[in-house]
Structure 1
Amino acid sequence: MEPWLDRVMPGQDADGPSAERDAVLSALNGVMGDRLAADANPLALDMELRQDGQSLDLDALRASSAATGKLLLLVHGLCMNDRQWLRAGHDHGLHLARSLGYTPVHVRYNTGLHTSVNGRQLANLIERLVAAWPVPLEAFSVLAHSMGGLVVRAACHSGNNAGHSWPWQLQRIVFLGTPHHGAPLERAGHWVDGLLGSSSFSRPFSRLARLRSAGITDLRYGHVLDEDWQGHDRFRRRPDRRAVLPLPSGVACFTVAATLAARRSRVADRLLGDGLVPLHSALGMHDDPARCLAFPPAHQYLAFRTGHMDLLSDAGVADRLVQWMADPPEAGLSP
């Protein structure tokens, strides 16, 4: 480990890495994970499936008879990890498990890598997970926060191209504050400040964020595909030239957006957003009609006076998730 990391990374509990240490390691991967991976640095995180803060053990899950036929995959955002779905005493995955009988499985990954690279890895991981699920699969849904939504869209594209079976089994995707059309890169340091909070161990990562990992530069316009970034200088500003990629067909897609404003207005919609992601970006709206994502009105939810991270604990969001993920969907979905 680098000497300065000894000073900013908390130690390890007797039962394994502390949540605080995991948070710092995830932040480090978010801001420079591409470099760590390229150097085969042991601090680089590998993508893995997790449950209850540990690597997923399908044999133990099968032996315990704890798996249900309703699988919920949760994919976190930039600089985060699977343990950070718990916020302010609330966890959307546990809430959906108790309310609807889902079995939550989390993805932890190196958020400093390109979105398309993580998407390809996730597609392969899901294919193996679905094939090995201990009981017949009745429902398969995904809940993704922030950058995680871009990774999920990349995984759907990669899985379809690879001829995987799981895209045909996927029923729902809910995006929470996903920057479908990007988020300003000049706020990269604010991502780390907002995710870790101001503390003695988080400040060095705010400075490191100026290095801008591949994952962070992908957030400028919301890159999802290899061709969005390959052959380009990712540090050089240029017009949005992403390939047009619609939402995955045959999947019910929902989006939750947040705004710090008390009500909608042209200025607030364009400038404020949730503090990190512009409102139109989270809603899939774009000035170019060809790039707009087709979320039906009843598949959109707007949380007012809510910040980007508060989407993980907001009571209104939790209620809407239960409504959307009920199987079959509850009648009378309100827009």
Structure 2
Amino acid sequence: MKKPRSTADLRGLARLATEATQNVTRIAEGVHQSVWSTLGMPGGEAPGTTRGITGLVYRSVLDITGAVGWGLDKAIGSLESTLQPLLEAIDEAGPESAQRAAMVAALNGVLGDHLQASGNTLQLFMTLRVEGETVISADVDGNIAVHDALAALPAVSGHLVLMLHGLCMNDLQWRSSKYPQGHADRLAAANGCTPVHIRYNSGRHISQNGRELANLLQAFVDAWPVPVESLSIIGHSMGGLLARSAFHYAAEANLEWLAHCKAFVSLGTPHHGSPLERAGNWVDVILGSTRHTAPFAKLGQLRSAGITDLRFGNIRDEDWQDRDRFERSGDRRMAMPLPGNITCYTIAASTAPQAHPISDRMLGDGLVPVASALGQHHEGERHLEFEPDKQFICYSCNHMQLLYHPKVTEKLLAWLAPLHAGGEASVE
């Protein structure tokens, strides 16, 4: 699908640059005041601000930056009718730029909650895509629209495979130059099922995206041109948590699409969190523990809600509501078992060439430990009951390679191909 360069991109980037400059200025003022405080000098009216001429300088920088940002936004808006044709003219013909899609996806993963709260034009809205075309979408208020592209699809199947990408990723990243055919492509070639891909703002809370996906899937199944016979969901990394969240909210709302879902496969999903986000939380605590480093804790707290959800694997509103997500705390999630009416599989990865207790526990795939990806937990109620023959560890494989690794493809074909051919899910 063609996605030309847009003045909306320019306005979104200008707003981000303005906000970044203002935030750095506030951090600098906080450091300045922390030094003055050690000398007994009083600060400004608000915590972390300076007073007198120094305070006036910082306020002036903030005000001028805000004025420049406002001016840029208005200037781009007033010139939109002139700029947009120029941007489209210099854009290459062909499908959407993978570079732009990757940049916007990364921004949404890191700052997606802020982009949404500030109404930034770079925020992503949840869409389901088939053959590169958006067929159904949700707007900022959760209103769902079915697009004309759905009816225009040349051939579709009643057997569907939904691919859910992870944090900072997008639907174009399930392939590589070495493996141009992705997992979904191979499944479609094997039995004629139709691949469906999601694109979403991965910086929002997982539970918010999960509820939206549950509703979007119901509208999607209702609008699909042929009766849906089976739906399999494959989630990479955060995508696996998104699927589990959608299962929960679909069951809560008695949504009919859940009855069509026959299989769920998680790939490198941090079912019980990622040590990297927990380390990030430690950084927040350490930086905030002294007067001089406290202003820099704001840098660590730029992490999106989606990222902080990965600390322990939050998938329900109750897991994060009424809590400071940057406060150091233990795992407060409500236990959430796997859905009982769906055949569930999981694949973990390890960068080690073979099984090793230390590398599996400490390294895993570089981001997610093997135990977390397999759903294992020392607390019985949190342990996810993936049956032994529905688990697989891919060695000499890192987190990102799970997106297209041939051993993963082979396992998916063995597990899911019989299901989409009209048989039952394999338990190989």
Normalising by structure 2, report the TM-score. Answer: 0.69
> CA contact under 8 A between 1:273 and 1:279: conserved in structure 2?
yes
Counterpart-to-counterpart distance in 2, 1:147 and 1:21: 21
User: Could you tell me which residue of structure 2 aligns to residue 264 of structure 1?
Assistant: 355
Quote the offset at 1:83 in angstroms: 0.9
Letter paired with 1:235: F
* 8 A Cα contact 1:46 1:110, kept in partner: yes
Do residues 117 (structure 1) and 196 (structure 2) align? no
| 2:112/2:201 contact within 8 Å kept | yes
Structure 1: 5+ residue runs without aligned partners?
189-207
**1:43-88: CA deviation from partner (whole Å, max 9, x where unpaired):** 1100011123331276545454411110111110000011111223
Structure 2: 5+ residue runs without aligned partners? 1-11, 18-89, 137-146, 281-298
Instruction: Identify which range, 127-136 or 321-330, moves more after superposition.
Output: 321-330
| Preserved contact between residue 263 and residue 425 of structure 2 (Cα < 8 Å) | no
- Where 1:49 maps in the other structure, the secondary structure is strand
Residue in 2 aligned with 1:27?
A: 106
Distance 1:63 1:300, change over 3 A: same
Is 1:248 the counterpart of 2:339 in the alignment?
A: yes
Matched, 1:161 2:240: no
Equivalent in 115, 122, 126 of residue 47 of structure 1? 126
3-state SS in 2 of match to 1:175: strand
Q: Distance in 2 between matches of 1:330 and 1:33?
A: 36
Structure with the bigger percentage of helix: 2
Deviates more, 1:213-222 or 1:164-173: 164-173
Question: Does 1:132 find its partner at 2:236?
Answer: no
Give the corresponding residue for 1:77: 166
> What CA distance in whole angstroms lies between the structure 2 residues aligned with 1:147 and 1:248?
17
Q: 1:187 to 1:134 in 2, by over 3 A?
A: farther
Aligned residues of 2:127 and 2:200 also touching (Cα < 8 A) = yes
Q: Secondary structure at the residue paired with 1:96?
A: helix
Whether contact under 8 Å (1:323, 1:329) holds in the other structure is no
CA contact (8 A) 1:100 1:322 kept: no
Do structure 1's residue 294 and structure 2's residue 385 form an aligned pair? yes
Give 2:162's aligned amino acid: L
Shift of the alpha carbon at 1:266? 2.1
For 2:385 and 2:190, locate their aligned partners in 1 and report how far apart those are by CA, in whole Å.
28
2:182 matches 1:91: yes
1:143 to 197, 217, 234: 234
Provide the residue aligned with 1:192 in structure 2: none
C-alpha contact (below 8 Å) 2:266/2:345 kept by paired residues: yes
User: Partner letter of residue 26 of structure 1?
Assistant: A
- How big is the shift at 1:300? 0.5
Q: 1:285 to 1:167 in 2, by over 3 A?
A: same
Q: 1:281 aligns with which of 347, 369, 372?
A: 372
1:227 and 1:12 mapped to 2: Cα distance?
Answer: 45
User: C-alpha displacement at 1:2, in angstroms?
Assistant: 2.6
Once residues 148 and 156 of structure 2 are traced to their aligned partners in structure 1, the CA distance between those partners, rounded to angstroms, is 11
> How far 1:27 sits from its partner (Å)?
0.1
- Is the aligned partner of 1:13 residue 2:102? no
Aligned residues: 311
Distance 1:209 1:109 in 2: 23
Q: Is the 8 A contact 1:61 1:67 kept in 2?
A: no
Q: Quick check: which has more Rg, 1 or 2?
A: 2
The one-letter amino acid of 1:108's match is R
Q: 1:243-292: CA deviations, max 9, x gaps? A: 00001120001001000112222212210100011110000001111111
RCO (CA 8 Å, sep 6+): is it higher in 1 or 2? 1
| In 2: Cα distance, 1:54 partner to 1:187 partner | 39
Q: Distance in 2 between matches of 1:249 and 1:134?
A: 29
Q: Could you tell me how far apart the structure 2 residues matched to 1:320 and 1:256 are?
A: 9
- Say which of 5, 10, 13 aligns to 1:2: 13
Q: CA deviation at 1:41?
A: 0.9
**What secondary structure does 1:211 align onto?**
coil
* C-alpha distance in 2 between matches for 1:4 and 1:131: 39
Contact 1:139 1:171 in 2 (8 A): yes
Rounded to whole Å, the distance in 1 between the matches of 2:91 and 2:348 is: 36
CA displacement at 1:126 relative to structure 2: 0.2
- 2: distance between equivalents of 1:209 and 1:169? 42
3-state SS of paired residue (2:381): helix
